Amino acid sequence: MSDLSLSILLASVLATAAPLIIAALGETLTEKAGVINLSLDGSLLLSAMVAFMVAYESGSVTLGFAAAAATAAAIAALVGIFGIYLGQLQVAVGFALTLMCKDLAYFLGNPYSRLQGPQLISMKIPGLADIPLIGPVLFQQPLAVYLSLLLIPLVWWYLYRTGRGLELRAVGENPEAAYTRGIDPRRKQLLYTLAGGALVGIAGAAFSLGIKPGWGRPQGIEGIGWIALAIVIFGGWHPLKVALGALLFALLQVIGISAQGIWPSIPAQVFQVAPFPLMILALLVVNLLQRETIRHWLQQRPGLALLAAQLHGAPPRALGQSFKPD
Which is nearer to other proteins, 93 or 247 (by Cβ)?
A: 93
- Residue 215 CA to residue 56 CA, distance in Å, equals 11
- By CB under 8 A, what part of segment 110-129 binds other proteins? 110-111
Closest CA to 169 of 152, 193, 188, 150: 188
Interface mask toward other proteins for 36-55; x: CB under 8 A: --x-----------------
Tell me how far, at minimum, the Cβ of 242 lies from other proteins, in Å.
15
Which is nearer to other proteins, 146 or 226 (by Cβ)?
A: 226
Which is nearer to other proteins, 107 or 160 (by Cβ)?
A: 107
Q: 197 Cβ partners below 8 Å, 6+ apart?
A: 26, 30, 37, 43, 72, 73, 74, 75, 76, 77, 79
- By CB under 8 A, what part of segment 52-91 binds other proteins? 78, 82, 85-88, 91
State the DSSP string of 105-144: HHHHHGGGTT-----PPEEE-TTGGGSTTHHHHHSEEEHH
- Residue 224 CA to residue 23 CA, distance in Å, equals 10
For residue 274, state whether it binds other proteins (rule: CB under 8 A): yes
Tell me how far, at minimum, the Cβ of 102 lies from other proteins, in Å.
7
Tell me how far, at minimum, the Cβ of 143 lies from other proteins, in Å.
31
- By CB under 8 A, what part of segment 282-311 binds other proteins? 283-284, 287-288, 290
Q: For other proteins, which residue of 131, 166, 273, 314 counts as binding (CB under 8 A)?
A: 273
- By CB under 8 A, what part of segment 128-157 binds other proteins? none
Q: What are the residue ranges of helices labelled H in 263-299?
A: 268-273, 275-288, 292-299
The residues binding other proteins (CB under 8 A) are 38, 78, 82, 85-88, 91-93, 95-97, 99-104, 106-108, 110-111, 217, 223, 226, 229-230, 233, 266-267, 269-270, 272-274, 276-277, 279-280, 283-284, 287-288, 290, 324
